[in-house]
Structure 1
């Protein structure tokens, strides 16, 4: 149990962060009232056009913040197919997940993008927990909510997972057969990377890092300070020196061009106890739904999509669609790659939902 001093310190820290976050959020709201940071985002709901509805619901006692997008001319007396969109690691619903949700709504689907529990605008303490079981439950929770949304045909439900959300979408779909069509974009196998390092660069330090995660868990359970891994801010010089496209372009996307106060690369060190023993590629033979996996030809993460795709031996009409010339992060925002990916996604969902 945390002692009173520790609790007070956490509350003071929380209030200070909330005040700063509120100031930053106000600036974001000046640009978009829904705090959406992607190009072409909805700025107001208009009759006869795609609309956005911020919603909240409880999932295992935690309040989840989500955005529901409805197609132009939406009529609750009709029956629409729906798509659940799972955001990347470090991402939130107002970034690329929102972009793809909005564009799919433009194609006639009801869509939902939610912040993961413990992250973004959703509740849950301590902040920035990033555990696979929780992220998978987030996807199921979105399915729960949107399946009961007026006008949605619960028998025509698809899922799109982006980056880390892609790995979790695959895992959710292995058991949750409400998802009739499964798609990923720039899939990132969070467990493999946290265990082996990006591009298998940290295999030699697995045991050392497991020890660090174990110590962090022990400190938390004793009421001590929560230890975080990841990056909370980055300088222009640090960005320029980053060698991999994923992280260099990722820093630019999350901290410069598409920055949002709710988005962070931080996660609790103790989360590694679960992340490092998890792998998106296991159980892929359980997916018997139609499967579409999209990745950029120049993405330094493409090896993860390739590893997983070959293991989906029972998926119906599975397809690997490669965006020629695209890096991982460019699939999040660059118009030509987004348009190509969406064209393929719409074709996929029209065929299978």
Structure 2
């Protein structure tokens, strides 16, 4: 499929669409609008409980869910893990699934919507600047460190997809995080700049020009322009060049749809995204590092690249889930179980 520079950003990570039947994990059937199978429907004694919270970050309201472990006692102390969601995702999707599963293992966990996205505040909507996403992660550490029962000396970080790339950046300087893990890491800056699998190198300057014009239009009080603000037919989806995008439309638009999730982002955000790279100065990470990715994920090259550049830590592992694609690590039980088992082992050792 031939794409112009403007529409080529349609094929970006973690796509979402607002149509299609939510037939596998319908948010409308869950009182917390969680979209994953096995999600909490009510808080019960002796079980993992969910606590919707709102906190301030740089003047914005951040919407988040705290998950507390079975038999949680605020007078006791617990290690905590914050989870950064994928690009285009929200806390009710895969970030919530992993937060719940890790809470089952005895951790207090936090999944929060990024500023300008989901149920969090910020205008214009769907600004997607790396500095904001990294600040979101610092803000999660701020909030959870003062939550009742949290041992702030045992704080872990998990980033999924785009949240994984931003977690690598946040952990470079934020040493409150004692252990860092990523799942299906997506280097947003590299892909926005070069295209997926570096397939759009020839249009970098054209796309930067479009982003610059969009910024100028915003500054003059004009209409805010968005990238990825499209709906594709099933036939168009089938023709997308990469499996991650095809499965992403299925996950975000049908099986795990949430009304707060959107793949679109302000076109002017590309001014910041295209000069960002999650691996720049990654050698500053000296904490234990675990990177998990599917062996069949077409995004695997990004985890492999980051892992090879993470020379500042001697405690690191790249763990490949045999047979898994990028999106399948978000929800498919056998792959989620494998990832959770590996994460549990990692955090038990490092926190």
Q: TM-score, normalised by structure 1?
A: 0.92
Shift of 1:239: 2.0
Deviation of the 1:232 alpha carbon: 4.2
**How many angstroms does 1:237 deviate by?**
2.0
Query: 1:231, CA displacement in angstroms?
Result: 3.8
Deviation at 1:33, TM superposition (A): 0.4
**How far has the Cα of 1:238 moved from its partner?**
2.0
CA distance in 2, matches of 1:191, 1:243: 20
What does residue range 192-211 of structure 1 map to in structure 2 within 5 Å?
A: 192-211=190-209
User: Which one of 52, 55, 75 corresponds to residue 54 of structure 1?
Assistant: 52
**Counterpart Cα distance in 2 of 1:219 and 1:72:** 51
Going from structure 1 to structure 2, the CA distance change for 1:319 and 1:29 (only over 3 Å counts) comes to: closer
Structure 1: which 4+ aligned runs deviate by more than 6 Å?
none
Provide the residue aligned with 1:342 in structure 2.
340
Q: Is the 8 A contact 2:26 2:257 kept in 1?
A: no
Partner of 1:123: 121
Does the residue aligned with 2:247 lie in a helix, a strand or coil?
Answer: helix
**1:14 maps to what in 2?**
none
Checking the alignment, whether the CA contact within 8 Å between 2:126 and 2:266 is kept in structure 1 is: yes
Q: Write the mapping of 1:272-287 to structure 2, written as runs, cut at 5 A.
A: 272-287=270-285
Alignment gaps of 5+ in structure 1: 1-19
Measured against aligned partners, the alpha-carbon deviations of 1:13-38 in whole angstroms (never above 9, x if no partner) come to: xxxxxxx99xx9xx966400000000
Contact kept, 8 Å, 2:27 with 2:257, in 1: the verdict is: no
Secondary structure of the equivalent of 1:233? coil
| Aligned-pair Cα RMSD in Å | 1.5
Distance 1:211 1:155, change over 3 A: same
For the residue of structure 1 that corresponds to 2:55, the secondary structure is strand
Which of 30, 35, 38 does residue 40 from structure 1 map onto? 38
Paired with 2:173 and 2:342, the residues of 1 have a C-alpha distance of 25
Pairing partner for 1:166 from 151, 164, 171: 164
> For 1:340 and 1:303, how far apart are their aligned partners in 2?
20
Match of 1:304 among 282, 302, 305: 302
Q: Give the aligned partner of residue 228 of structure 1.
A: 226
CA distance in 2: counterparts of 1:111 and 1:289, whole angstroms: 19
Cα deviation code 1:75-115 (max 9, x no counterpart)? 01110000000000000000000000000000100000000
* CA distance, structure 2, for counterparts of residue 182 and residue 292 of structure 1: 6
Match of 2:330 in 1: 332
* Equivalent pair of 1:239/1:252 in contact (CA under 8 Å): no
| Separation in structure 1 between the aligned mates of residue 88 and residue 201 of structure 2, nearest angstrom | 23
Once the 2 structures are TM-superposed, how far is the Cα of residue 236 of structure 1 from its aligned partner? 2.0
Which structure has more helix as a fraction of its residues? 1
Number of aligned residue pairs: give it: 330
TM-score normalised to the size of structure 2? 0.92
3-state SS in 1 of match to 2:309: coil
Match of residue 15 from structure 1: none
